[in-house]
Amino acid sequence: MEELIAKFLPEELKERRRLYEEEMEELSNLNKNVPIFVCTMAYPTVPCPLHIFEPCYRLMIRRCIETGTRQFGMCLGDPVKGFAEYGCILEIRNVQFFSDGRSVVDSIGKRRFK
């Protein structure tokens, strides 16, 4: 299969390899201590609007913005482990803060993680 792709779609294969290498380089540069928001399932490229009201998540969002990473992990809860083994990295696009400390976060899924 790979030989056929290389023969008939060389430019597409080259572009796919370049994108893969860029993604792997980006992933290797990430800090392994990514904050996790245990809430719902998120998916790459899909917007994920959030209403943040719990103090621990308000702090997490503030730190993500202040440090410049603007990213956090989102995954489902797990009754045994606390949260699921797989999730999605979300990137904060915009935040609207309210006077009582709550906020509405406009985020979008970037990539999955384990």
**Residue-level pLDDT at 61:** 95
**Do residue 53 and residue 94 come from a single domain?**
yes
Residue with the bigger pLDDT between 29 and 72: it is 72
Residues with Cβ within 8 Å of 84's Cβ and at least 6 positions away in sequence, in order, are 75, 76, 77, 78
**Do residue 26 and residue 71 come from a single domain?**
no
**Do residue 53 and residue 37 come from a single domain?**
yes
**Do residue 12 and residue 23 come from a single domain?**
yes
| pLDDT at residue 27 is higher than 60 | no
The Cα 95–Cα 62 span in angstroms is: 10
Type of residue at 59: L
Residue with the bigger pLDDT between 32 and 18: it is 18
> pLDDT tens-digit profile of 74-111?
999 888 888 888 999 999 999 999 999 999 999 999 99
Cα angle for residues 111, 60, 63 (degrees, 5° grid): 95
**Do residue 61 and residue 94 come from a single domain?**
yes
The CATH number for 98's domain is 2.30.130.40
Residue with the bigger pLDDT between 32 and 45: it is 45
Residues with Cβ within 8 Å of 98's Cβ and at least 6 positions away in sequence, in order, are 104
In 1-114, where does DSSP find H-type helix? Answer: 2-8, 10-29, 55-67
The Cα 103–Cα 66 span in angstroms is: 15
**The domain containing residue 20 runs over which residues?**
1-30
**Do residue 36 and residue 26 come from a single domain?**
no
